[in-house]
Chain A
Amino acid sequence: MIAQALVSGLLIGFVFALIAAGLTLIFGVMEIVNFAHGEFLMLSMYLSYFLHAGLGWDPIAALPVNAIALFALGVIVYYALIRRVLRAPMLAQVFATFGLGVFLQNAAQFLWRPDFRTLGNTWVTGRIALAGVYVSGPQLAAAGGAVVTTAGLWWLLSRTEIGRALLATAEDRQAASLMGINPDRMFALAWGLGAACVGVAGALLSTFYYVFPQVGGVFALIAFVAVALGGFGSVVGAFAGGVLIGVVESLAGVFIAPAVKNVFVFAIYLVVVLLRPRGLFGKL
């Protein structure tokens, strides 16, 4: 039973980690928390749903479409909204993205009704038994996809020229622009990449999770906690935070009670930040 709970927790934890990585990337580069992150995820899940229902495309096959579409959405949101509040007080930035989230969530409800939708059969339906532990195919695929994407993001940031430019902008905007890096473009890229992360996560989740207008809230709150738990701005921290939350949630759900599992998620956040006020991997 412990093994089963651990494995389930790890699998969903990898998906939390990917969502959190997108959030922390945006924060790390420009110190803005995207409160519409969950709604980006929701839009990606609807995209998978409509591609599947309308064109018969499998969400796994259409994954690049989600990534590109959400990348574009992130860039558009940056230029249309975020650029205008760059110099505004932190609270105005919070409410710009919060307002966007309210807008997107209710626009989805207006357009597509509050129904819960499921995709039905996809490539990854079914389940596998491994040494007595049952693993559902969609969850395994989602976890695998999330790990690969998060690792890709990490590679991009730490091993490529463009990633270094992003990190340089995060470190010192002015010094970076003196080195010939255009911070404006880097900010847009951060929003694009951050949104593309939830684009991938949305496609992966759509194979086994209900698609409905409020679905983003479920994951966004956990992603915020994961990001803060790991330390704002740290991709490695967000990954660790996401996985830790997945495991804690799963163990608490099995051994204590499903109704109170989130108490443990929030409690572990409090314990960690009270011991380390900037999270597990945050800059001190």
Chain B
Amino acid sequence: MKIGIAAAVVVAVLLYPLVLRGPYPQHLMILVLLNALLGTAWNILGGFAGQISLGQATFFGAGAYTSTLLFQHAGVSPWVGLVAGAALAAALALAIGYPCFRLSGHYFAIATIAIGEIAGIAVTNWEFAGGAVGLFLPVEGEGMGAFKFGDKLGYYYVVAAFLALSVALAAWLRRGRAGYYWRAIREDQAAARSVGVPALRYKQLAIAISAALTAMAGTFYAQYLLFIDPPSVLPLSLSIQICLVAVLGGAGTLVGPLLGAAVLVPLSAATSVALGGSGRSLDLVVYGALIMVIAVFEPSGLVGIARRVRRRISAQR
């Protein structure tokens, strides 16, 4: 049954933009897939290994800025830039992880906030990277090789492929040795270490992979919107939103971030369409209330609801 549902979801995602041809439904779904990708990347570090990062925007920005700057100043293909951005983000992640993984719980989370804020301020004051003004990418040149498409369809399938790759990687890692080590570290790091789990090395693995995938998403974002600046790719609010997608969906599970993105993105879009027109942020009032409701009634995330539904169906048989 599980494989059946997964296959149905994959087919639905592939057919979606061919059925709904309008730019808005396609844009909305691109955002869903992008958030699912970011949530999946967060989940490897926060859900599997239990290290709560509230600084994912640092890696997202590293990806967006690396590919954009390489293209603008050296004419490097964004695809090469994507790899370079992911490598840079992973290196950055290792440099952050090495000292910061000594910290536990809230201290680690606040350290990631601190690093994210420093990165944001640094780029804002860095003239070469466009400073507070930001960077525009040239519009001309289309096609797969240029990582630039005239319509949304190309972007749609690229981000869908990125997501599929990330989910497959997460599933594979979770099933292997790393997955078991991460679970042991998450539940009780001291106990894990006492039985010989190399905790630091596996936490470093988690943050490096998480950062590389997040940077890929950052390059995609830059190529999709053709404009980046610190408030759009490096804010604390983005880091929190990434965490929110994974946690409200269900941290530590494979489908959690996908479910979280599939519910939260359309939800915030719907409330802003229905209520946001007044410019008085009624949509965010509703959004905040919904976050509270989910946290109270489904503390393990939306996955909990899905599980209960499935149990009820199988009980009826």
Q: Do A and B come from one complex?
A: yes
B291 at the interface (CB under 8 A from A): yes
Residue from B114, B243, B288, B299 in contact with A103 in the complex, judged by beta carbons closer than 8 Å: B288
Decide if B107 touches A270 in the complex (CB within 8 Å). no
Cα distance, A270 to B103, chains bound together (Å)? 10
Decide if B288 touches A95 in the complex (CB within 8 Å). no
- Which 9 A-B residue pairs are closest in the complex by CB-CB distance? A99-B291, A103-B288, A102-B288, A88-B299, A92-B299, A266-B114, A99-B292, A106-B284, A96-B295
B226 at the interface (CB under 8 A from A): no
One of B6-14, B117-125, B166-174, B201-209 contacting the partner: B117-125
A210 at the interface (CB under 8 A from B): no
A contact face: mostly helix, strand, loop, or mixed = helix
Q: Which of chain A's residues have a CB closer than 8 A to the CB of B122?
A: 263
10 more CB-based (< 8 A) A-B contacts, given A91-B52, A102-B291: A33-B106, A85-B299, A89-B299, A91-B251, A98-B244, A99-B293, A228-B106, A266-B113, A270-B100, A270-B111
Cα distance, A267 to B121, chains bound together (Å)? 12
Residue from B115, B236, B287, B295 in contact with A92 in the complex, judged by beta carbons closer than 8 Å: B295
Residue from B117, B124, B243, B296 in contact with A259 in the complex, judged by beta carbons closer than 8 Å: B124
Decide if A269 touches B292 in the complex (CB within 8 Å). no
Cα distance, A33 to B102, chains bound together (Å)? 21
Total cross-chain contacts (CB, 8 A): 127
B211 at the interface (CB under 8 A from A): no
B77 at the interface (CB under 8 A from A): no
Cα distance, A53 to B296, chains bound together (Å)? 37
Decide if B295 touches A88 in the complex (CB within 8 Å). yes
Query: With A102-B288, A269-B111, A279-B107 known to touch, is A262 a contact of B117 (CB < 8 Å)?
Result: yes
Cα distance, A105 to B294, chains bound together (Å)? 19
Q: Which of chain A's residues have a CB closer than 8 A to the CB of B243?
A: 91
Cα distance, A266 to B243, chains bound together (Å)? 21
Query: With A92-B295, A274-B99 known to touch, is A106 a contact of B282 (CB < 8 Å)?
Result: yes
Q: Which of chain A's residues have a CB closer than 8 A to the CB of B251?
A: 89, 91
Cα distance, A228 to B248, chains bound together (Å)? 25
- Contact residues on A (Cβ < 8 Å of other chain), bracket: 35 or more
Q: Which of chain A's residues have a CB closer than 8 A to the CB of B124?
A: 259
Say how far B188's CB is from chain A's closest CB, in angstroms.
15
B233-265 interface mask toward A, CB cutoff 8 Å, 1 = contact, 0 = none? 000100010011001100100000000000000
B288-317 interface mask toward A, CB cutoff 8 Å, 1 = contact, 0 = none? 111111111001100000000000000000
Most buried by B among A91, A107, A113, A267: A91
Say how far B285's CB is from chain A's closest CB, in angstroms.
5
Residue in chain B with minimal CB distance to A87: B299
27 A-B contacts (beta carbon < 8 Å): A81-B296, A84-B296, A85-B295, A85-B299, A89-B251, A91-B247, A92-B299, A95-B291, A96-B292, A98-B291, A99-B290, A99-B295, A102-B287, A105-B284, A106-B287, A106-B288, A110-B285, A221-B236, A224-B110, A232-B107, A263-B121, A267-B118, A269-B110, A269-B111, A270-B115, A274-B99, A274-B102
Q: Which of chain B's residues have a CB closer than 8 A to the CB of A51?
A: none
Decide if B285 touches A103 in the complex (CB within 8 Å). yes
Cα distance, A105 to B288, chains bound together (Å)? 9
